[in-house]
Amino acid sequence: MLHSICQFRVHSLITPFCFFSLTCSDLSEKQNEFSDVLAHLQSFPQLNVKEIKPEKHFNRIFEIRIIQPINHNNPLEGTFSQKIYLSHVDTSLPVAFETEGYSRHNYKTRELADLLKINQLMVEHRYYGESVPSNHNWEYLNIWQAAQDHHVIVELFKEIYPSPWVSSGASKGGDTAIFHRRFFPNDVDATVAYVAPILFELEDQRFLDYYQTQGDEPCRSKINNYRREMLKQMNSFTPYFEQYVSDVNRIYNVNMTFSIPYEHIVYHAIREDYIFEFWSSETEDCSTIPGENASTQALFDHFVNVFDIFLFFSDYGKEFWTPWLYQAKTELGNYAFDVQDLADLTLDIPPLVTFSSPTQFDPTIMQDIDQWVRNSSNKMIFIYGENDPWTVASFSTSHSENSIKIINPKSKHSVRIKNLPSQTQTVVVRKLIEWLDL
């Protein structure tokens, strides 16, 4: 049903190119249009453009660097280069504006552009990946400055793509799209935010109640016993880590390094993140938690099944997550840690990441976002997974008929439109077609 709707409504715009024979004149016009897009991009002095191999339904894809002010309040303080990927179909079609919450190390076609067969513009977030100012002043890593980045990009690229725009992102990227709409509500015509949480505290206490409602009592007991056993044996896991890291580096021909002591990784991961990550897992459940008298190997195997230690704790992972940690400590907040039953195992171990300047959490930032979404947002779709812990912190949407919140049954953090029931997919696609004038 969804496929047929998209084929009929969306492709009706491009059938002259798809279903009728193309004359030499038609082909020449298309080739000229392609050349004009590149020429138009190259005419902007703040852009550096490199063409890369196209995929999917796109005719051309460009990797772009745009020069942005570090501080939009005072451009004289310096600039940085922000990475963009532009995927071009036709200048007359809408744009899916993909706001990454983190780095974007390589190109990827996202769901909306693929679903609707429209253009896509993907932006790496400031202070992540290759979009990092040389002076690295953390003060300017905030949601207002990032929204300014996105506003500059939208205004510039609307000179090429004047049709309606839809912003989109997943998780922190979904938050980024919402934050952009809050400060510049008219930059885009609609927003689809996947699994985007809103947190109101440095350690949001709603998650403590969530942890106490998941699973049954025997399962929660297994979780607690496992955490205690890992902390008791935390100094025993170094050879297991060393072997595991060596094997992964050899098999995948990589060189992932770890500067954080392995026992420190275990200590912080078990105390601060294990329960959340366990309930987030797509593969682990209560039956896979090692029970009493489990071997050290079994304890370790479960740990690396729950945690991607390379993404979270390697030197690469530390660099990847440090900007997020700064944002969590100042504006975004984080989930609460349930350490009540581990008090007797507390040790004086330094945090995994420290900052040279103090961080102060400001709860009014997310309170403002929450009030705007509740009272002023329009043409927004929020999609969550029923079994995703982040859904505890889902947005409360406005009462507008053009504000849609979907909690998909039996889904977690990877839920997308394609995972929704067919009838719900139809509702979402029809709304997007309406909002984007497709």
Q: What is the tens place of the pLDDT at every residue in 229-266?
A: 999 999 999 999 999 999 999 999 999 999 999 999 99
Structural domain includes residue 155: yes
CATH code, 12: 3.40.50.1820
Ordered alpha helix ranges (H), 71-157: 111-116, 143-157
Q: Are residues 148 and 243 in the same domain?
A: no
Write down the pLDDT at residue 398: 75
Same domain, 229 and 292: yes
Structure tokens at 79: 């600039």
**Residues 59 and 190 reside in one and the same domain:** yes
Mean pLDDT by 10 residues, the chain (438 residues): 33 30 42 72 96 96 98 96 98 98 95 98 97 91 98 98 98 98 98 98 97 96 97 97 98 97 98 97 96 96 98 95 96 96 95 89 98 94 98 90 92 97 97 96
Whether 192 and 84 map to the same domain: the answer is: yes
**pTM above 0.85?**
yes
41-90 tens-digit pLDDT: 999 999 999 999 999 999 999 999 999 999 999 999 999 999 999 999 99
Question: For the chain, how long is the longest CA-to-CA vector?
Answer: 79
Query: β-pairing, 403-408 with 380-385?
Result: parallel
Q: Token pair of 375, please?
A: 């009272």
Q: Is position 267 within any domain?
A: yes
Q: Locate the DSSP E strands across 299-435.
A: 380-385, 403-408
What's the total number of domains in the chain? 2
Give the domain extent around 79.
2-200+372-435
The pLDDT assigned to 356 comes to 82
For 355-369, b where at least 16 C-beta lie within 10 A, e where not — what string? eeeeeebeeebbeeb
User: Rounded to whole angstroms, what are the CA distances from 233 to 230, 270, 283, 289, 411?
Assistant: 5, 12, 24, 16, 34
Q: Say if residue 166 is in the same domain as residue 284.
A: no
